[in-house]
Amino acid sequence: MAKTKVISVANQKGGGGKSTSVYCIGAGLALDGKKVLLIDVDPQGDLTKMLGMRKPHDLPRALGDVMSDVVSGKEIAEHTEIMHHHEGFDFVPGNRALSAVETGLVNVMSRETVLRQYVDSVGNIGGQPYWSWYGFEGRVEWCACFVSWCSNECGYIENGIIPKFAGCVNGVQWFKDRGQWADNSIEPTPGMIIFFDWDSPNGSSGPQDGQSDHVGIVEKCENGIVYTVEGNSGDSCRQRQYSVGYYEILGYGIPAY
Ligand SMILES: Nc1ncnc2c1ncn2[C@@H]1O[C@H](COP(=O)(O)OP(=O)(O)O)[C@@H](O)[C@H]1O
Ligand SMILES: [Mg+2]
């Protein structure tokens, strides 16, 4: 969501034209070819009604519900609350579930970031920015696209420090060919590329076979714990952690930064 612009329309006074402005600005930007997500933060759900949902309070899932999920630390697996409008933009409906969130927020840590955490999760699920940047027309398993995308942002691909790769196996081979490979017994340093070989006999990646199924970036290693950043971890970008030497870690690619 780095390049996303957020526009807030806020005023204590009712009837001042907030909802109307949001609708007009959103529709205008969409006409202009922008990707737009409108978020109705009003418990009355006026914007939601304007956009055609006549009974916002009957919706199974709206902004209040997803904000509650953020507060309770529940993972948002897919964004079923996002609706599409025929004028070419998407919106998150609002309804009176927001009132409950508002009172519940009083004693929540970092409550001022709850909406932002929700918005950040929108760009993080599904990996579209990463696989489409790579050149795919539709979703693929995108862990390697994510690593490649990050590398490209840092200029490491053009400098030959990290390859542009979409298949984990190709990534492993690239590092091995250059003698820049370490097995899972080492304590990795920040920026190493971590490759996994999942032990999931009945899953899509199958039993452990020495072929990498997943890849991420090492953030740091402290007190025997490897901290990573991974794309396509449950279809999201996530920070994860493992013990040094954990058996599903296949090994590490060591970029010559
Ligand atoms: N630029 C405008 N000119 C005239 N009427 C407007 C304008 N903007 C909004 N309105 C009208 O004012 C009323 C309140 O607007 P609304 O967007 O619902 O305000 P808010 O969201 O601030 O409560 C609505 O009836 C709307 O149609
Ligand atoms: Mg309004």
User: Does residue 172 have a pLDDT over 60?
Assistant: yes
Question: What pLDDT, in 10s, does the model give residues 19-70?
Answer: 999 999 999 999 998 889 999 999 999 999 999 999 999 999 999 999 999 9
Q: Which overall architecture, per CATH, does domain 129-253 show?
A: Alpha-Beta Complex (3.90)
Q: What pLDDT was estimated at residue 197?
A: 97
Domains 18-125 and 129-253 share a fold: no
Q: What pLDDT was estimated at residue 20?
A: 97
CATH number for the 18-125 domain, one of 2.60.120.330, 3.40.190.10, 3.40.50.300, 3.90.1150.10?
3.40.50.300
Spans of all domains in the chain:
18-125, 129-253
Q: Is 155 in the pocket of ligand 1 (CB under 6 A)?
A: no
From 11, 20, 24, the mutation candidate for ligand 1 (largest count of ligand atoms within 8 A of CB) is 20
List Cβ<8 Å contacts ≥24 apart for 109-112. 111/71
| CA dist., res. 227 & res. 67, Å (int) | 27
Residue 229 binned pLDDT confidence (cut-offs 50, 70, 90): very high
Q: Is 117 in the pocket of ligand 1 (CB under 6 A)?
A: no
Q: How many CB atoms lie within 10 A of CB 20?
A: 14
User: Does residue 74 have a pLDDT over 90?
Assistant: no
Locate 74 and state its tokens.
């529940």
Locate 39 and state its tokens.
């978020």
Q: Is 190 in the pocket of ligand 1 (CB under 6 A)?
A: no
Q: Mean pLDDT, the chain, as a whole number?
A: 93
Question: What pLDDT, in 10s, does the model give residues 105-117?
Answer: 888 888 889 999 8
Please state, for a pLDDT cut of 90, what percent of the chain lies above it.
76
